[in-house]
Amino acid sequence: MVLGSGWNSVVNMMEERIEIGYEKLFGVSSTVPGHKGKLIVGKINNKPVTVMSGRFHMFEGFTALQATSFIRVFAKAGMKSLILTAACGALNTTYRIGDFVVLNDIITLLLSPDSPLVGPQFIDTSCVFDPCFRAKAVAVIKKNHIRYHEGSYIYYHGPNFETPADKRAMKILGADVCGMSTVPETLVARSLGVKVLGLAFVTNLAFVKHDHKEVLKEAEKGSKKMKILLRAIL
């Protein structure tokens, strides 16, 4: 599981956990506020779980290959399923701050030319998020009466937030939410045969002024629901 901005409270429900800093593991650490930069191994619901508390972004200076290298390591170690979480900005005007989004697709157009893929070049991306995984997430959300949507996520490099013109263009392309992660990781995981579930939490509305402190503040408000959702899915 990869925890995005504001999702770190999920770590508190892990039992028998062992934490290792990214710097000790990889020689580098995440520099983004809200990303602790730790690998945590433990249990949730008595099931073994490995959690990346924070991720690497390309706007931090990492290449796409470097930012996704941990997925290759985990896949080689036997990872079969991956939950990617993220904070996101809403492009769809029916979405509200505090809504969850079960991702059903990604838009990769803004990722080029730095591809995270190595090896086979023409992977099938007709269904990047596992349908059974998605259905389980939706069932849990409905059972707990959590407001949600199913939508598409478009990648934006950052580190600046999107301009109004960027947002209008991305909306025309069919994106419901946008963010600076998730897409490279999804592509790599799928290329390795790993089942992926993408969960995003709306922390800001695209067509109003916002900053990263606001993102973290809104994500913290949703932490209780995040825990309920992830515990039930696992």
Element (H, E) at 209: none
Q: How far apart are CA 49 and CA 8, in angstroms?
A: 14
Nearest to 162 by CA among 174, 180, 142, 141: 180
Segment holding 125, helix H or strand E: none
Q: Which residue has the tokens 């990604």?
A: 106
231 is in an annotated binding site: no
Q: Would you say 157 is a known binding-site residue? A: no
Measuring CA to CA, which residue among 145, 54, 52, 49 is closest to residue 100?
A: 145
87 annotated to a ligand binding site: yes
162 is in an annotated binding site: yes
Residue 17 among known ligand-binding residues: no
56 annotated as ligand-binding? yes
Confirm whether residue 100 is marked as ligand binding: no
By 3-state DSSP, what share of the chain in percent is helix, strand and coil, each rounded to 5? 35, 25, 40
Query: What interhelical angle do 183-191 and 69-76 show, nearest 10?
Result: 30
What is the spatial distance between Cα 183 and Cα 171, in angstroms, rounded to a whole number? Answer: 17
Provide the token pair at 48: 């073994």
Q: Which amino acid is at 98?
A: G
Q: Is 53 annotated as a binding residue?
A: no
212 is in an annotated binding site: no
- DSSP structure class, residue 161: P
Q: Which residues are annotated as a binding site?
A: 5, 35, 55-57, 87, 162, 181, 204
Q: Which residues are annotated as a binding site for phosphate?
A: 5, 35, 55-57, 87, 181
Q: Which residues are annotated as a binding site for a purine D-ribonucleoside?
A: 162, 204
